[in-house]
Structure 1
Amino acid sequence: MIIRKAILNDASGIAKVHVDSWRTTYKGIISDEFLKNLSYEQRTKLWTKNIAKEDNYVVVAENTEGQIIGFADAFKRETNKVTNSGDLTSIYLFEEYQGQGIGRKIFKALFKHFKELGYNRIFVDVLEGNKTRYFYEHFGAELVKTSQIGIGGKMLNELTYEWNNIDDVLENL
């Protein structure tokens, strides 16, 4: 298992994980029609742009065959006005690789990056029905806000969590 910084050639592998993970993670939460219409091609274009952004930190997890099986990214969103803070904007793994500690390794890579940037507070948004929120809570994230977001013609609760001590998170990883 290798966790490394993404390069432009990783965009299609990340897109596959992104689409397939959304289809398993959000089944029963987001409409089947919306999930069915997710496109590898569109997500590849998105991830090509995301990887190229200088302030976006994207990491991938590769299995022993060199296949991308997970990814995460982080940057400071324009809407985040909190000094010395950043945002964990996504973390996804193929369903068959979940529960093996890979997410934890990806998560650690992000938090090391946050520490290098001098951040002391990290935010993440997660849909209420997404079980990943329990992973975040396990590592000390605290719920700070609930809002509504429209996805696929349906209004869903989006939860905003915050970590306010990066050293504590890294120590528990």
Structure 2
Amino acid sequence: MTNHQLKLRRAIPQDSLDVAKVHVASWQTAYRGIVPDPFLDTLSIEERAARYNFELHGQENPNTWIATVSNSVIGFVTFSRTRDLDLASMGETQALYIAPATWRRGIGTMLLDLAEKEMAGWGLKSAALWVFASNHRARSFYESRGWTADGTLNYLEIQGRSLPEVRYRKTIA
């Protein structure tokens, strides 16, 4: 894959199934050993696709941009104003997932950079994101991009397990 083949664009409703395929494949690969296997094994592409609404845009709504090669979705980023009440004047990267077969090719960096620029364009100075505490690959990626853990923890309950998430923050403007 060469960069001239890679296209970044805003997701549209017709992308829902392809975005869901990337989302589920990423979870099933990246979160193996972090999230209970029975949960990962039963993730549904169709159920995930039904959750997306790519028609709404703006700071208050999730904005999703996709990376494509030859019209195939290989990654996506979703961002908005933060959902965290203590950070009301910040942006949030809600999701960043890349098809596992295309990891470590710079796609995540391009999508994260795009999200940061879009949020800065809204006049936001900083952004936050959440990552599983034991997802060392993702944490290293975000840290290499200038994000820092701020000490705030959240616990996501999945199949009776309490999984800690760490909040990261970054100045984007």
Same fold (TM over 0.5): yes
Alignment of 1:13-52 (within 5 A): 13-47=18-52, 49=53, 51-52=54-55
Distance in 1 (CA, whole Å) between partners of 2:72 and 2:41 is 23
Instruction: Give the distance between the partners of 1:88 and 1:160, measured in 2 at CA.
Output: 11
- Separation (CA, whole Å) in 1 of partners of 2:64 and 2:120: 15
Q: Aligned equivalents of 1:26 and 1:13: distance in 2?
A: 20
Query: Within 1, Cα distance between the matches of 2:96 and 2:47?
Result: 18
* Number of positions where the alignment pairs a residue of Structure 1 with one of Structure 2: 163
- Which ranges in structure 2 are unaligned for 5 or more consecutive residues? 1-5
Instruction: Give TM-score scaled by structure 2 length.
Output: 0.89
The answer as to 2:142 corresponding to 1:161 is no
Q: Distance in 2 between matches of 1:58 and 1:41?
A: 18
2:70 is equivalent to residue 68 of structure 1: no
- Whole-Å Cα distance in 2 between the matches of residues 103 and 160 of structure 1? 18
Work out whether 1:136 is the aligned partner of 2:139.
no
- Equivalent residues of 2:75, 2:96 under 8 A apart: yes
User: In the alignment, is the contact (CA less than 8 A) between 1:84 and 1:118 conserved in 2?
Assistant: no
Structure 1 residue 14: Cα displacement: 0.4
The 3-state SS of whatever aligns with 1:134 is: helix
TM-score normalised by L of structure 1: 0.89
Q: Which moved more, 1:91-100 or 1:151-160?
A: 151-160
Give the root-mean-square deviation of aligned CA atoms.
1.3
Query: Where does 1:98-109 land on structure 2 (aligned, <5 Å)?
Result: 98-109=103-114
Q: Secondary structure at the match of 1:99?
A: coil
The one-letter code of the counterpart of 2:113 is: K
CA shift digits 1:18-63 (9 cap, x unpaired): 011100010011111000111011111012x2x1333221000001
Single out whichever of 77-86 and 66-75 deviates more from structure 2.
Answer: 77-86
From 3, 8, 11, the equivalent of 2:8 is: 3
